[in-house]
Amino acid sequence: MDELADMLNIVMAHYNLKSVIGFGVGAGANILARFALNYPNKVECMCLINCASTQAGWIEWGYQKMNLRNLRAKGMTEGVRDYLMWHHFGKGTDERNHDLVEVYKQYFERHVQPVNLALFIDSYIRRSDLSISRETDPGKKNDNTLRMSVMNITGAFSPHIDDTVTLNGRLDPTNSTWMKIQDCGMVLEEQPGKVCEAFRLFLQGQGYAVALGRKLSSASVEGLYTIGKGKMAKTCRQATTSVSLDGIDSAVANIHITENPISEAAVC
């Protein structure tokens, strides 16, 4: 995983990028976090979805070893496919979005190369701990942790909630936010609008995309997130008319700050 993280330097050099805003999901989030730890000056801020910061546990290791054996010997079996569905969406996906389930099942069966997937899974379960911790001493605040602002997202039905909570407990609460989005397992597929809105506001809190604005209906206002100085809090507002967020002035007018996102996790 560390080798994959170092390969991002090659990509940045190819495109002549001095720093980036990171967006990673699952294993990609773990790789991005490793890159940010090794090269903090090259990452402005990050959005991590379902990120694990620890080594693979015995249960995960055992299940994945069984999947590796099946993928190499038999290809994409029904057991492997069901595990991948659980890994991405958690339980009860059929009840929430039957069409989405069918699309992913067909994708796993027809478009995934079993041997390559087995090699990738083998690398992921051999991952090392990120070795980060929350430092209470102000003088050592930036040691052994992610120095940039981090938005840590998961879904209410995701099997990776505990991983994201563990990561959140190891980050500096002044520059990190943990967000659990309701009624979904895989947030990008089931609640893309909420993720997009939260990410836009997160970027505005970092000084980017300040000119972006769009009209929100009263239905979408419920669960709106506002961001200030890299910290996020939930603004619960009841409105009967549409709300416009055009320009920086209106965005700044709605800023709310929480000092510790752990004690009062944001849920939309």
Mean pLDDT across the chain:
80
Percent of the chain with pLDDT over 70: 76
Q: What is the DSSP string of the chain?
A: -HHHHHHHHHHHHHTT-S-EEEEEETHHHHHHHHHHHH-GGGEEEEEEES---S---HHHHHHHHHHHHHHHHTSS-HHHHHHHHHHHH-S-HHHH-HHHHHHHHHHHHHH--HHHHHHHHHHHHTPPP-------SGGGTTTTS--SEEEEEEETT-TTHHHHHHHHHHS-TTSEEEEEESS-SSHHHH-HHHHHHHHHHHHHHTT-STT---EE-HHHHTT-EEEETTEEEE-----SS-EE--HHHHHHHT----S-TTTT-EE-
Q: Give the start-to-end residue ranges of the domains of the chain.
A: 2-55+129-267, 58-125
182 versus 225: the higher-pLDDT residue is: 182
Query: Against a cut of 0.85, is the pTM above it?
Result: no
Please give the pLDDT value at position 202: 94
Architecture of the domain whose range is 2-55+129-267: 3-Layer(aba) Sandwich (3.40)
Q: What is the pLDDT of residue 126?
A: 92
pLDDT beyond 80 at 170: yes
Q: pLDDT of 177-223, one tens digit each?
A: 999 999 899 999 999 999 999 999 999 999 887 776 554 444 443 44
Query: pLDDT for 229-263, tens place per residue?
Result: 344 443 333 333 333 334 434 443 333 333 344 44
pLDDT tens string 1-41: 889 999 999 999 999 999 999 999 999 999 999 999 999 99
pLDDT, one tens digit per residue, over 47-75 is 999 999 999 989 889 989 999 999 999 99
Question: Is 264's pLDDT higher than 70?
Answer: no
Residue pLDDT, tens place only, 114-160: 999 999 999 999 999 999 988 776 666 666 789 999 999 999 999 99
